[in-house]
Structure 1
Amino acid sequence: MDSTLYIEVHILQSVPPSSINRDDSGAPKQAVYGGTPRARVSSQAWKRATRIHFANSVPSTDRATRTKQIGVLLADRLAQPTNEGGSGLTSDQARRLASSLLEPLGITKSPKREGESAYLLFFGKRQLDALVALLGSRPSELAALPDKDLKEEVCKLPVAAALSTGHPAEVALFGRMVADLRALNVDAAVQVAHALSTHAVRTEFDYYTAVDDENVEDSGVGMIGTVDFNSSTLYRYAVLGVHQLNHNLSSADATSETAVQFVDSFTRSMPAGRQNSFAHRTLPHLVLITVRTDQPVNLVSAFEEPVTGHDGLAAKSATRLACELTAIAATWGSRPHRTMATYALKADKLADAVGPSLPFPALLESLGDLVGQWLADGTLPTDGTRRADAS
């Protein structure tokens, strides 16, 4: 059995005039790659968009939240009536007990806001339930104890363990780092690259006016301004370590389901910066899945020399990507165990390198079968396997 399994997602996607991810000056983010300026969308922006899309597909009780307000949420839960799953404490009792319960974690408190941590903590709703469950039938009893006795009693409870197990899929995918207590750290199963345009990009400016509907004495212009934007064909890349995801979730069924849902969410998601101004949501030209057991391979080097042309860039970018996949296989012997792709492009060498296009739902179904078989017996399906060795 191969001890590692990587599912890589390579996407080519054209985005019309937009400003989906801005820098501190309000301009669309850029990067210089291959000596030319490229449009860029940060990995953080696309991970958040993916996580929001993913969360919408799972029950609210299985979701995660990233917040500084774990103490506030815990206190609110303890103050709920007992018939609603709370402990029926007063607000003051709930805040005191919540603060004591979290104290063994040693999480640095915010110097500015009472009840908040100094940094964001990523945890699941069910993990918050687990913290409340530690108290059993004793919340009122513990809340009545003096500070010293309360601290001694709370220190006997496995608070860290409650937050170290039962991770929701979002935490299992994207990981968690807690500087104050390494036991709470969760190694991410997913890595996401910054999306880059396959071609050179320049920022443009939209001059706009806003009309005052009630101004009838002059032109009616109530405000004028400019908005920076660009348009691009982006190469997007993410890799999922199925072995790490399975370790984080401790369930083969949950791992297979989460892997498929991640690919779906990463593919369909879109950062929403200035969405109302540009309505820039599109779907990809190409989704390529490569399955590897040795190491991940980002294929962005296909675009180190920028794609050029005046009759569309998506098909040319797809040909570049196919050639790069084939060249890496031939040069380094790094052939994926399997490739699967969804595309509607007519691009040279694409089908030879990645195989025929599958409807996206069929691609996800095949991916789920592949992950499920690997988790069950450590083997990978060979039927329909395409190796990137086209001549």
Structure 2
Amino acid sequence: MIIELHLLQSFPTSNLNRDDVGQPKTVTFGGVTRGRISSQCLKRSARTQFTRFGLGEDETGVRTKRLLLATARILDGRTEGEPAAETKEIVREGLRRLGFKVAEKDLTQYLFFLGREAAEHLADYCRRHRDALEKAAAARRDEEKKKRKGSKEKDSSPDAAAVEEARRILSAGRAADIALFGRMIANNRDFNVDAASQVAHAISTHAVATEFDYYTAVDDLKAAEADEDAGADMIGTVDFNAACYYRYANVDLGQLERNLDIRADDDDVVERAAKAWIKAFAVATPSGKQNSMAAHTRPEALLAVVRDHGAWNLANAFLKPVEGTDIMGESTERMLAHFSDLNAFYGSGEIKAVVGASPTGALPLDGADSVASLDAFTDRTVAAALEKR
């Protein structure tokens, strides 16, 4: 069963997701420039909210290149600071044996998406094989002394036992965010996780122009200096826009269940993960430039669709950009009308439930189950999805 989430959210002056030159991200759609917030930004913003909505810390993952340092600290019995050089060498050798390269500054080659227990599992592996790892590290040091400076280390494939150890260390069976958003490790597809959730880039429903805020900063102690002028000591510009965004995401509950470690018939981790996913996407706001713009808004229109298969992104409702002053009202009408048109043309047999909500009143959509709060919206949607599985 698939849950689709369609949101309309308006942001005032903001620069929530910047490009490489500091401007708000954009895309050309329908022949005009639109504001854009990347799917990666939206997923990150949502992922940090999961523990607010029913998931435990141990049911979420961490994204890091610092697995070596975290593991070495565990072996040294510390929570911060620099681990002993000998300990880092043992962990580095352990990672090599498991098939993972370590780059500069003791960072892993890849930005791993790991379960919370990964460092503990790797530390346990290093303890159990400490003698062998110490000997291998010593042999590697002797070999490196004989090599010409700058020679490259030869790649070696881990044996079957090491692959199983790596699989245990990288296990993400209870990490709901890894189950939802997936994981890719380029040189070993056995450790990849197919994402249960797809997230679209948010785009503005109307044409957007980037604007510029010219600012100055004054030295508070400058006035006391007789030889100084009254001008500012710092000037600059900040890019911003203001836009109403259409946001779309979906989650396949079947894939989510396959990704998660279901431990008993009454294990409710899939239900809790689905509810956390809906609520987190509804309330999460990207953090870009928030200290200077405070663009903390909430969606004005929320539409959930439960279906057996397939997926409908409703962005084409805005292929012709919305114009006028009632941007949110017109955008809502366009989104609901486009959904109704698709339903009428392609048939609604695969659709099992439609739930709508808005802080300003019921969504005007025939056949939708209208609710009056985010909690009710979430509960009604997930219940419909689980009932139809």
Query: What displacement does 1:372 show?
Result: 3.8
Q: Distance in 1 between matches of 2:195 and 2:261?
A: 14
Aligned with 2:311 (options 289, 296, 304): 296
Q: 2:101·2:108 contact (CA, 8 Å) conserved in 1?
A: yes
Residue 334 of structure 1: how far off its partner (Å): 4.3
Residue equivalent to 2:5:
9
Would you say how many aligned residue pairs link Structure 1 and Structure 2? Answer: 359
Q: Residue in 2 aligned with 1:119?
A: 110
From 145, 152, 174, the equivalent of 2:181 is: 174
**3-state DSSP class of the match of 2:249?**
strand
Aligned pairs for 1:22-171 within 5 A: 22-55=18-51, 58-80=55-77, 91-110=84-103, 113-134=104-125, 138=128, 141-142=131-132, 145=135, 147=137, 156-157=161-162, 158-162=164-168, 163-171=170-178
* One-letter identity of the residue aligned with 2:321: P
From 315, 319, 343, give the equivalent of 2:329.
315
- Distance, in Å, in 1 between the alignment partners of 2:171 and 2:257 is 15
Q: Would the aligned equivalents of 1:195 and 1:234 in 2 still touch at CA under 8 Å?
A: yes
| 1:246-261 equivalence runs, <5 A | 246-251=257-262, 253-261=268-276
- Stretches of structure 2 that go unaligned for 5 or more consecutive residues are 141-155
Other-structure match for 1:338: 353
- Report the Cα offset of residue 190 of structure 1: 1.0
Q: Where in structure 1 are there 5+ consecutive unaligned residues? A: 85-89, 379-391
> Could you tell me which residue of structure 2 aligns to residue 381 of structure 1?
none
Q: Deviations over 1:93-132 (max 9, x none)?
A: 422332232224422332xx14222221110112332333
- Structure having greater relative contact order (Cα 8 Å, sep ≥ 6): 2
Could you state the TM-score of these two structures normalised by the residue count of structure 1?
0.84
1:369 aligns with 2:365: no
Deviations 1:179-203 (A, max 9, x none): 1111110111111101011111111
Q: Is the 8 A contact 1:93 1:143 kept in 2?
A: no
Aligned to 2:145: none
**RMSD across aligned C-alpha pairs, in angstroms?**
2.7
Distance 2:108 2:369 in 1: 50
Q: CA deviation at 1:358?
A: 2.9
State the Cα distance separating 1:15 from its structure 2 match.
0.3
Cα distance change, pair 153–120 in 1 and its aligned pair in 2 (3 A): closer
Q: Deviations over 1:29-81 (max 9, x none)?
A: 11111111111111111111111122455444443211112122222222217
TM-score by length of 2: 0.84
Q: Distance in 2 between matches of 1:55 and 1:154?
A: 37
Q: State the distance in 1 between where 2:378 and 2:249 align.
A: 16
- Counterparts in 2 of 1:200 and 1:271: CA distance versus 1, 3 Å: same
Deviations 1:282-319 (A, max 9, x none): 01101111111120110111110111112x21111111
The residue identity in structure 1 corresponding to 2:115 is G
The range that moved more, 283-292 or 63-72, is: 63-72
**Identity %, equivalent residues:** 35
Aligned residue for 2:370, secondary structure, equals coil
1:220 deviates by 4.6
In structure 2, distance between residues paired with 1:21 and 1:296: 26
Structure 1 pair 165–233 and aligned structure 2 pair: CA distance change class (3 A):
closer
Check conservation: 2:76, 2:84, Cα contact below 8 A: yes
Shift in alpha-carbon separation, 1:107–1:143, aligned structure 2, 3 A:
closer
Change (3 A) 1:153 1:356: closer
In structure 2, which of residues 241, 245, 249 is the aligned counterpart of residue 238 of structure 1? Answer: 249
Question: Kindly tell me: are residues 95 and 323 of structure 1, through their superposed partners in 2, closer, same or farther at Cα, counting changes over 3 Å?
Answer: same
CA positional deviation for 1:149: 9.9
Aligned to 1:356: 370
Answer with 8-17 or 62-71: which moved more: 62-71
Counterpart Cα distance in 2 of 1:278 and 1:153 = 50
Q: 1:263 aligns with which of 246, 258, 278?
A: 278
